[in-house]
């Protein structure tokens, strides 16, 4: 017979600094879904966890219990290694759109469940939906079939997967308990482990445009997630990557899809390719399709130069209802009615010293390409392109970026934000490494 618990006892135990048992944690994760744990009791426990923390063992139990609160996708019957990547998100982070078809072209199965953008960070699902017809709301059986057929499928979280996180995230969002590392770890890892993966690579971003502002906090989160993966018996590696300036030269939806396709054509911006190739290499190594980084790089280079990675992208678009011709004709993507270039002031001399990713993210929102609430509609055509990078030379009237908007009234605020985001210095600042740490 299973033990009977009272939510208030569990709350008091954690409030007073105790360690919860596996059964108590399972009761909590089940209870938030079936109503045994009322919302007010769940939020009290979340706040107690916020202050008292969770041990690594408690975090692993919570992750496991949350994962099992709904459907765990079983991909064991599919041949090949199933490996995914998760990013904590940033401005211009379109890595998934490039990495998923690239990794599939190198022999992996990539079952990717992604989220929507909120606030200044964009979401992979929203970017994919800029492609006319592309469906991200597939059933699990469609997901499995497309994965089998093309090696890559990119969808939104189905309501059946990790319902405990859906509930807990909504409560955390309105009770000041989002910024809690064990809760973030359990939230992310429960969703990734429920995808039926064999291994996972994490991109934990830090800096102005990231969820984690400091490297120390990002490192703590990365270590917790790697340890939680290990506790679940899955190999997980994390890269710590800088997010002070946007990744690549584009932010938005159509603008980022175009830049991603350019990367698949082997002509993307260096910083975006650097992060994408580093993450994909670790996926190939964990999935066993490359023995070491040099071999992974050879395979990726061949997949990009032969057009195999782009062909996977087209195949994925077609399988998910999207128009694969966008890879050849960018005019098929939603295009903004207004396009203006923002230029450096006449006094500008020297180099770009900084491009504040947070302000660029806010500029995309000002143009209509972001959402403040999950229910907001976004304008896929709105965004920024041609953005200068730190260190590039500037003189009077150099183009700093291009703004895209359907509503001309939105351009003035966006222009103010990008002008404030981009700063200049007489000499180029020393280049900081983009990939700063690997946690295994
Ligand atoms: N992303 C998630 O999925 N969960 C969190 O708690 C934070 C970011």
Ligand 1 atom nearest 191 alpha carbon: 3
Ligand 1 centroid to 267 CA: how many Å?
Answer: 32
Angle between helices 22-34 and 39-52 (to 10 degrees): 140
Coil vs helix vs strand at 343? strand
Q: Which of 122, 173, 178 to mutate for ligand 1's pocket (most ligand atoms within 8 Å of CB)?
A: 178
Has 187 been annotated as catalytic?
yes
Catalytic residue list contains 271 = no
Pairing type for strands 110-114 and 152-156 reads parallel
The distance from CA 249 to its chain's CA centroid, rounded to whole angstroms, is 17
Our answer to whether residue 172 is catalytic in this structure is: yes
C-alpha–C-alpha distance, residues 189 and 228, integer Å: 7
Query: How many angstroms does the Cα of residue 24 sit away from the middle of ligand 1?
Result: 23
Identify which of 123, 169, 204 to mutate to test ligand 1's pocket (most ligand atoms within 8 A of the CB).
169
Compute the distance between CA of residue 350 and CA of residue 348 in angstroms, rounded to an integer: 7
Is 191 noted as a catalytic residue in this protein?
Answer: yes
CA angle 67, 73, 79 (to 5 degrees): 135
Ligand 1, atom 6: nearest CA belongs to which residue? Answer: 184
Atom of ligand 1 nearest to the CA of 188: 3
Model pLDDT for residues 128-183, shown as the tens digit of each residue: 999 999 999 999 999 999 999 999 999 998 888 999 998 998 899 889 998 899 99
Report the separation in Å between the CA atom of 178 and the middle of ligand 1, taken as the mean of its atom positions: 8
Write down the CATH number for the domain with range 83-330: 3.40.1030.10
pLDDT value of position 433:
92
The SS3 of residue 83 is: strand
Domains 7-53 and 83-330 share a fold: no
* pLDDT value of residue 3: 62
Q: Cβ atoms within 10 A of the Cβ of 409, count?
A: 9
SS3 content of the chain, % helix, strand, coil (to 5): 45, 15, 40
**Closest C-alpha residue for ligand 1 atom 7:** 184
pLDDT given at position 162:
93
205 backbone dihedrals φ, ψ, rounded to 5°: -95, 150
For ligand 1, residues with CB inside 6 Å are 169, 183-184, 187-188
Total count of residues recorded for the chain: 440
415 CA from centroid of ligand 1 (Å): 31
Model pLDDT, residue 403: 98
| CATH 3.90.1170.30 matches 334-425 | yes
Catalytic residue among 82, 94, 167, 172: 172
Of the residues 187, 190, 260, 385, only one is catalytic, namely 187
Residue 396 to residue 348: CA distance in whole angstroms: 5
**Cα angle for residues 86, 270, 83 (degrees, 5° grid):** 25
Domain ranges of the chain: 7-53, 83-330, 334-425
Per the CB < 8 A criterion, the answer to whether 236 and 386 are in contact is no
For the chain, first and last CA: distance in Å?
Answer: 40
> Which of the residues in the chain have pLDDT under 50?
1
Q: 7-53 belongs to which CATH class?
A: mainly alpha
As a whole number of angstroms, the distance between CA 91 and CA 390 comes to: 15
Under 8 Å between Cβ of 183 and 49: yes
Nearest CA to ligand 1 atom 5: 184
Q: 231 CA distance to ligand 1 centroid (A)?
A: 19
414 CA to centre of ligand 1 in angstroms: 28
């Amino acid at each position: 017979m299973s033990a009977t618990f009272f939510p208030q006892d569990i709350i008091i135990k954690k409030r007073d600094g105790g360690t919860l048992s596996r059964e108590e944690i399972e009761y909590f994760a089940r209870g938030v879904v079936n109503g045994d744990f009322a919302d007010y009791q769940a939020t009290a426990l979340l706040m107690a966890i916020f202050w008292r923390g969770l041990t690594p063992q408690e975090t692993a139990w919570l992750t496991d219990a949350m994962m099992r609160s709904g459907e765990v996708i079983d991909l064991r019957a599919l041949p090949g290694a199933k490996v995914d990547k998760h990013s904590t998100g940033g401005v211009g982070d379109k890595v998934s759109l490039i990495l998923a078809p690239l990794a599939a072209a190198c022999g992996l199965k990539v079952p990717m469940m992604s989220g929507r953008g909120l606030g200044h960070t964009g979401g992979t699902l929203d970017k994919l939906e800029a492609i006319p017809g592309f469906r991200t709301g597939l059933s699990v059986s469609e997901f499995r079939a497309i994965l089998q057929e093309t090696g890559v499928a990119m969808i939104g979280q189905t309501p059946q997967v990790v319902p405990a996180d859906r509930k807990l995230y909504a409560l955390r969002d309105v009770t000041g308990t989002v910024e809690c590392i064990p809760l973030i770890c359990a939230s992310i890892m429960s969703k990734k482990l429920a995808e039926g993966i064999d291994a996972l690579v994490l991109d934990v971003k830090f800096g102005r445009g990231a969820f984690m502002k400091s490297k120390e906090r990002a490192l703590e989160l990365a270590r917790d997630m790697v340890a939680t993966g290990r506790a679940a018996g899955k190999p997980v590696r994390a890269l710590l990557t800088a997010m002070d300036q946007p990744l690549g030269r584009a932010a938005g939806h159509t603008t980022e899809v175009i830049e991603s396709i350019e990367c698949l054509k082997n002509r993307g911006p260096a910083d975006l390719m650097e992060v994408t190739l580093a993450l994909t290499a670790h996926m190939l190594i964990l999935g066993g399709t490359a023995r070491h980084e040099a071999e992974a790089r050879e395979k990726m280079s061949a997949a990009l130069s032969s057009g195999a990675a782009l062909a996977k992208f087209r195949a994925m678009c077609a399988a998910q209802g999207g128009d694969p011709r966008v890879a050849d004709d960018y005019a098929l993507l939603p295009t903004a009615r207004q396009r203006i270039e923002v230029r450096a002031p006449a006094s500008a001399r020297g180099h770009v010293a900084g491009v504040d990713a947070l302000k660029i993210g806010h500029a995309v929102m000002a143009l209509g390409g972001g959402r403040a609430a999950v229910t907001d509609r976004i304008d896929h055509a709105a965004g920024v392109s041609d953005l200068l990078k730190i260190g590039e030379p500037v003189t009077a009237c150099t183009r700093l970026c291009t703004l895209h908007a359907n509503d001309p009234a939105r351009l003035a605020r966006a222009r103010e934000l990008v002008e404030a985001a981009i700063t200049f210095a007489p000499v180029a600042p020393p280049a900081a490494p983009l990939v700063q740490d690997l946690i295994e």
